[in-house]
Structure 1
Amino acid sequence: MLKSVDTTELARRIAEAQALYKDRKSGIDHYAEVDPVSGRPISKYIDGGVETFPVPSAFEVLPVYLEAMAAGNTLHQLGLVQVGLDFHGNPQFELYTHRPAQVQKLALDKIAADVTAQYTKEIQEHNAAFIESEVQARVNIEARRLERELAEVAAKRRAEIEAEVRATYTPQPVEEVAKVTPARARR
């Protein structure tokens, strides 16, 4: 059956994609894709609503925080997270922030447009495949009907030809000719 754009389904897909964007960390994902030939991971930049700032030491938390807030970011609920130790054993941190609202709005609008385009493309592909299958089914039905009609016509014609051949080659009743035996000739 042909599908049309379902606004509730489209709104659900857009909301899911936008929620995924809002909670995703921006940056390079070293396992974003897999090379189909070698099977090795491929790194890729992932765009998200959460931006992190590296903090090399505990003494630089405040300057990094002030710099991020000056850029328009807002503090994420994770805040400051220790990500490891440096070469000397000192802790290293990342400051989690939400990107500025205008940046997020542009990204969310682009996501909505992309999801809408993908959804309409899926519907068009489904409709095209459905129409193709229906056309093929009707062509097959028509072909079988024509085959059946041709077989019936061929069977009728064969029966007519067989009747003609039988009529032609059926031995005709031979009229019995009275055998006249010649009289014996006298000598």
Structure 2
Amino acid sequence: MTLFKTVDATELQARKTAAEEQFRGRKSGIDHFAGNDPVTGRPVGGYVEGGIEAVLVKYAEDLIPVYVEYTTKGYTLTSVGVVSINSSTWEIYMNRPAEQVKPLLDAILQKVEDDYIAEIEVYNNAIVDKAVAEQLAMAERREAKELEEATKARRERIESEVRQGLKAPDLTKPKSGKK
């Protein structure tokens, strides 16, 4: 068994399926919460791509001609259909044609795969970094212990040389003689 992660095809496919469902269910256009400002953390608006296009129709008499025009271009009506924005303006929610969706979806799925592989690489690199740090710490502790033992042995050797040189009296033998 290895500690390293590898690419799991089922997990990758699940992530791709989720990304595709999110793309197909998202309306193309301006999203006021598309991203976050890294400094303040507040939402930042931006343009998002999606599988649904909201076609603005300003007059009721234009609903059918606009619908026919977009269906001839390959668009299909969503389950939401026509939504009234106010008394005289509507939006027709239509699925984008496959030739528009395919390149966008391919780019999104490639990004999902790249992000997944990058996530695995970060995880594996973290394991290697942790193992290296543990090995270094163990080597430093071993070296510190060896240095401490060498210092202690050197001190004992020097102390014995000094005692020999000064001929310190042996206090363990009692003195013989008168009191």
TM-score (norm 1): 0.83
One of 7, 23, 26 as aligned partner of 1:24: 26
Residue-pair matches, total: 168
Task: Decide which structure has the larger Cα Rg and report it.
Answer: 1
Letter aligned with residue 147 of structure 1: A
- What's the counterpart of residue 124 of structure 2? 127
1:85-118 per-residue CA deviation (whole Å, 9 max, x = no partner) reads: xxxxx33110000000222222222221111111
In the superposition, relative to structure 1, how do residues 157 and 67 fare at CA in structure 2: closer, same or farther (>3 Å)? Answer: same
- What's the counterpart of residue 176 of structure 2? none
- Structure 1 position 27, deviation (Å): 0.5
Q: In the TM superposition, what are the counterparts of 1:39-50 in structure 2 within 5 Å?
A: 41-50=43-52
Matched, 1:13 2:15: yes
- What's the counterpart of residue 53 of structure 1? 55
- What's the counterpart of residue 157 of structure 1? 154
- Structure 1 position 41, deviation (Å): 4.1
One of 89, 94, 98 as aligned partner of 2:91: 94
Matched, 1:144 2:146: no
Paired with 2:82 and 2:148, the residues of 1 have a C-alpha distance of 83
Give the RMSD, CA atoms, in angstroms: 1.7
In the superposition, relative to structure 1, how do residues 157 and 94 fare at CA in structure 2: closer, same or farther (>3 Å)? Answer: same
In the superposition, relative to structure 1, how do residues 9 and 143 fare at CA in structure 2: closer, same or farther (>3 Å)? Answer: same
Instruction: Extract unaligned runs of 5+ from structure 1.
Output: 85-89, 174-187
TM-score (norm 2): 0.86
- Structure 1 position 171, deviation (Å): 4.0
Paired with 1:40 and 1:78, the residues of 2 have a C-alpha distance of 30
- Structure 1 position 42, deviation (Å): 2.7
Q: In the TM superposition, what are the counterparts of 1:62-101 in structure 2 within 5 Å?
A: 62-84=64-86, 90-101=87-98
Large movers: runs of 4+ above 6 Å: none
1:122-158 per-residue CA deviation (whole Å, 9 max, x = no partner) reads: 1112212211111111011011111111111111111
- Structure 1 position 83, deviation (Å): 1.4
In the superposition, relative to structure 1, how do residues 171 and 45 fare at CA in structure 2: closer, same or farther (>3 Å)? Answer: closer
Paired with 1:15 and 1:164, the residues of 2 have a C-alpha distance of 80
Aligned-residue identity in percent:
39
Paired with 2:42 and 2:141, the residues of 1 have a C-alpha distance of 51
Paired with 2:168 and 2:134, the residues of 1 have a C-alpha distance of 52
Paired with 2:140 and 2:41, the residues of 1 have a C-alpha distance of 47
